[in-house]
Each structure stands twice: as C-alpha cells, then as structure tokens.
C-alpha cells in the first residue's frame, strides 16, 4: 500500500460559512485554488463525528466534501495524499558532547528538525529515533531552521529538558551564531525590532518586522569585512522564528543565500518549484543561507557547572568566505579567533 501523509485542519470561528476551497486556500496559500479543488475531489473528507449535513449538502451521507461546501466552526478537515518522494538530506551528525543528562550535536545544513509537508522520514528527530530507539530518544531543547547548521542541544531526561528550557525562557542560556551577510551592519549594535507573521506575504512561514509583533532583540558584532560582505557574530536575546535572519535583513545586511529574506521571497517559491538552478545560484550565491549556530553557554542541569560548547564553521561557509578578497589587519581571518560569548 502506498504511503500517505495526513494533514488536519480545525475550522476557526473566523471562517464560519466560508467555502471549503477558500478555507483551505487560506491555510495553505502556496497552493492554487485549482489544485486545492482537485485535492478536495480526490481526498478530503470530514470525520464522521464532526459531520454536519447542513454544511456538507448532499455529500454528507458519503462523508465527502465538495469545494463549494460551507464550513462551520469546530469542524475537522482531513486531507490525505500520497507521500511525495523526499529530497535527499545529510544523514550524518557529529556528537559534540554527551553525558547522562544531555547531548549536543552538530546538525548539518539541509537536515530538517521535524516532519513537514516535504520531509517525513528524513528529519533529525527520525534519525535520533533510529539511533537511540523510541524510548530513549533525546528531547530537543531548541530548534534550528533546516538550512542552518551548528549546535543543537538535546536533553536525555525529562528533568534535564525542563531545566534547560527554563534557562532558555529566563535568558540564562546564551547562544552565538556566525553569519555571512551582504553589506555592512556596522561594527556592533543591538537590533530591537518586533517580529510577527508577514501578513502581506502568501508564504505562511515568512516573518517580518511588524508593529504588533513580539518583542525581539539581537546583539551583533562585525568580525570582518571582505568586499561587499561581512562576517557577523549574532547573539539573540530572544528566540523568535527566523529572528537573526529577519533582524539582519531589516538593517540592510541580509544573510547570504537566504531565499526568504535575501533578494526576495520569489527565490523561496522558485526553489520549491524547480530546485537549485543556475538562475538561483546567480542571485543567492549559496544553495543554503550562511547562518551557523557556533556556540552555546549554559548551566549543566544536574552538575551545576557552566558548560560552553562550540561547533566549528562548516566547510562550505569557510570556503565561501575564504574565496572572498581581503583579510583582517593582523593577517589572519576572523574565523580563526571568533570572540567567545562571555567576552562580548
């Protein structure tokens, strides 16, 4: 039997009386209405316990939906579709630290953390289950975007997970990232701009600086300049989705290779349709955004001592930076002496 993917939606009060195809278009803006209508005809159904004949019309008896059916608050819509062929991902990760309470790994760029519409088995959580078994799978303490490389911290016990996440919430865990950006954000600075969903974009995951967004703060230090590019150390004080990428783009220094916040979100949509092409290479320069989780500093959840972990910059970003003209005044690249978090 062919493998399938199931997606569930619950109709909110604001969608009362909407056509089903309009409702699904609002949930998945990247899909055309024509494609949504085909999916409805082939695969969409309403669970029996939530069926509402008045909402479904003549299709209620069969438990099937029509595109023109009117949805009502509380109804659940289940879309089942054949699982797509998953893109290949790096399946190896390096263990940076391991003890009885926690695990730190170096996530490669291109490996998603969780299952998504495009990735079901090829994820970090799936690899961890394969490696440790379901009962002993370490728990994620924080997340990285799929294209971001670097340190991921995991807890091996429930108590360690609670303690580490509490440090994150109380801003007692300090993370530092390296980013190669276009332009120059300045020698040092603090970016305090609220971040929320980009309501003007049809891309659901896209964030933006918005007046009613969540308070967000990123400190940064420019480590080195080479031509039209800068190497930046970014230290997020808050943990909003895409925070560093949004903040650096907002001050005119977008991360190199960023399909959402670089040359324009059209790169993101084009990549989803075509994959990596020469046209995208000319605009983005790198097949992934140049952001790397370089270090993390925290208090060990059981031992009480301060732990600082580092993850060397990946070979692709080292090669990109090394190929740019110029060097720092002391004759060596800033990559060789990145400032530790506590020294800033």
Catalytic residue numbers, as ranges: 145
Per DSSP (E only), the strands in 137-216 are 139-140, 149-155, 174-182, 188-192, 195-197, 207-209
Q: Which of 270, 306, 309, 304 is nearest to 287 (CA)?
A: 270
Q: Work out whether strand 306-310 and strand 217-226 pair parallel, antiparallel, or are unpaired.
A: unpaired
Environment class of residue 197 by beta-carbon count within 10 Å: exposed (0-12), middle (13-18) or buried (19+)?
middle
Cα(225)–Cα(218) distance, rounded to whole angstroms? Answer: 20
Token digits for 57? Answer: 């019309």
Q: How many CB atoms lie within 10 A of CB 195?
A: 22
Q: Work out whether strand 291-299 and strand 149-155 pair parallel, antiparallel, or are unpaired.
A: parallel
Residue owning tokens 């990760």: 93
**Count of H-run helices and E-run strands, the chain:** 9, 14
Per DSSP (E only), the strands in 201-337 are 207-209, 217-226, 229-236, 291-299, 306-310
């Amino acid at each position: 039997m062919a493998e399938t993917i199931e997606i569930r939606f619950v109709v909110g009060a604001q969608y009362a009386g909407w056509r089903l195809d309009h409702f699904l278009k609002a949930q998945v803006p990247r899909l055309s209405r024509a494609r949504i209508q085909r999916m409805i005809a082939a695969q969409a159904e309403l669970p029996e316990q939530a069926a509402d004949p008045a909402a479904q019309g003549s299709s209620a008896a069969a438990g099937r939906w029509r595109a023109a059916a009117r949805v009502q608050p509380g109804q659940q819509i289940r879309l089942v579709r054949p699982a797509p062929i998953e893109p290949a991902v790096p399946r190896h990760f390096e263990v940076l630290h391991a003890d009885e309470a926690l695990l730190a790994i170096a996530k490669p760029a291109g490996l998603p953390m969780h299952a998504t519409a495009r990735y079901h088995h090829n994820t970090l959580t799936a690899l961890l289950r394969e490696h440790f078994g379901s009962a002993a799978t370490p728990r994620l303490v924080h997340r990285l975007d799929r294209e971001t490389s670097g340190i991921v911290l995991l807890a091996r016990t429930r108590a360690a997970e609670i303690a580490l996440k509490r440090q994150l919430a109380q801003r007692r865990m300090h993370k530092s990232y390296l980013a190669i950006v276009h332009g120059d954000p300045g020698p040092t600075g603090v970016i305090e701009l609220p971040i929320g969903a980009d309501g003007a974009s049809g891309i659901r995951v896209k964030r933006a600086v918005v007046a009613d967004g969540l308070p967000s703060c990123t400190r940064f230090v420019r480590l080195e300049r080479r031509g039209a590019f800068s190497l930046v150390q970014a230290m997020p004080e808050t943990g909003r989705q895409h925070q560093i990428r949004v903040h650096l783009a907002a001050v005119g220094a977008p991360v190199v290779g960023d399909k959402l916040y670089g040359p324009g979100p059209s790169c993101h949509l084009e990549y989803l349709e075509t994959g990596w092409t020469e046209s995208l290479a000319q605009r983005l320069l790198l097949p992934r955004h140049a952001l790397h989780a370089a270090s993390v500093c925290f208090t060990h959840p059981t031992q009480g001592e301060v732990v600082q972990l580092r993850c060397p910059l990946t070979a692709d970003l080292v090669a990109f930076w090394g190929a740019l003209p110029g060097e720092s005044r002391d004759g060596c690249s800033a990559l060789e002496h990145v400032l530790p978090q506590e020294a800033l």
